[in-house]
Amino acid sequence: MEVWIPVNIKPQKVHSDIQEWLDKYSYHAYKSIIQDRINSTYPGLSIPKALYILNLDNRVIVGIVPHEQTLRLPMMQAVKCPICHEEDTVIRQTLACNHTFHHHCIQQWFRVNNTCPLSRMHITNTY
């Protein structure tokens, strides 16, 4: 199952939003697995803060939200991904700046960068 991270939420709501999602979709098993992975890699770090750290193990990154929850736009609203410059209707948002990107593009971007590709908003500065 391919999944993506909800990183477009405001920092002060990160924990409550993720907890609400986990409760709503009964993903307590995922939460336990993710927290165990985070604890082994970054002891004492919570899931919300760990989501914004670069170079997290991909199994941690992909364990939060099912890919089916990806925002899907109607064809008439197709947007061009600022990273690869291709149009598509499957996008994802990043940070509080609400910029949109292809799922695979932004995932690769965050493996080597910790800023929004457009606004250069620094991820760790959101806390």
Each residue's pLDDT tens digit, 36-54: 666 666 666 555 555 544 3
Write down the mean pLDDT value for the chain: 59
What one-letter code names the amino acid at 86?
E
Query: Bigger pLDDT: 106 or 37?
Result: 106
Query: Bigger pLDDT: 21 or 123?
Result: 123
- For the domain that residue 109 is a member of, what is the CATH number? 3.30.40.10
Domain count, the chain: 1
Query: How many Å apart are CA 15 and CA 47, to the nearest integer?
Result: 8
Q: What is the three-class DSSP state of 122?
A: strand
Yes or no: say if 103 and 92 are a contact pair by the CB < 8 Å rule.
yes
Query: Bigger pLDDT: 63 or 13?
Result: 13
pLDDT surpassing 60 at residue 27? no
| pLDDT at residue number 22 | 55
Cα 112 to Cα 5, 14, 23, 32: the distances in Å are: 16, 22, 31, 27
Domain interval for residue 120 = 3-126
Sign of the dihedral defined by the CA atoms of residues 67, 65, 70, 106, in that order: negative
> Any idea which residue has 């910029």 for tokens?
99
> Any idea which residue has 């949109």 for tokens?
100
Structure token digits, residue 41:
């890699």
pLDDT surpassing 50 at residue 60? no
Query: How many Å apart are CA 103 and CA 123, to the nearest integer?
Result: 17
| pLDDT at residue number 111 | 81
Task: Write the pLDDT tens digit of every residue in 64-105.
Answer: 434 444 444 444 445 677 888 877 656 665 556 777 777 778
